[in-house]
Structures are given as C-alpha cells and as structure tokens.
Amino acid sequence: MKLSPREHQVLTLIACGLTDKQAAGKLKISERTIQSHLASILLKLNAKNRVNAVVLYMHLNPKWKIKMRYA
C-alpha cells in the first residue's frame, strides 16, 4: 500500500487544495496523468474520493507533513 514518490507528490498537492489542472501545472505533467495517479492512490488506499484519500493517508502516516511549498 506504499505510494510511489510521484503519487505522494500528487496526494500532497491535492491535500493542499489544488485542482487536477493546477497540480498538473506544478508537476509539469498532463491533467490526465494526475487523474491516473489519483486513481491509483484511491485503489491503494481503498479510498472513496480524494478527500478520503488524504484523511486515510494522514491516519496511516501520522508523521506525514504537508509541505505548502508545493502549493
């Protein structure tokens, strides 16, 4: 259930409140690629949606720090 480094980046951007389009711009990848990473994250965490994914990941990784430098 470990996230890849890129999935971790995507989830961090989502946790900061960025849209798929904004996250894609920050990471210089397509919006579709963000959506693909998000789908993988949801499966790995067994999450219902992006907010649920953030909450679950925070619960499973209490030391996770959301670095606003991404935002």
Tokens describing residue 41: 């994250």
Residue ranges making up the domain that contains 44: 5-70
pLDDT digits (tens, 9 = 90+) for 17-33: 999 999 999 999 999 99
Q: Taking the model in full, what pTM does it have?
A: 0.88
Supply the DSSP string of the chain, one letter for each residue: -PPPHHHHHHHHHHHTT--HHHHHHHHTS-HHHHHHHHHHHHHHHT-SSHHHHHHHHHHH-TT----GGG-
Whether residue 56 has pLDDT greater than 80: yes
Integer Cα distance of 21 and 48 in angstroms: 20
Higher pLDDT, 34 or 61: 34
Instruction: Report yes or no: 41 and 7 within 8 Å, Cβ to Cβ.
Output: yes
Count of the separate structural domains present in the chain = 1
Domain of 35, CATH number, reads 1.10.10.10
Q: What percent of the chain has pLDDT over 70?
A: 93
Mean pLDDT of 38-57: 96
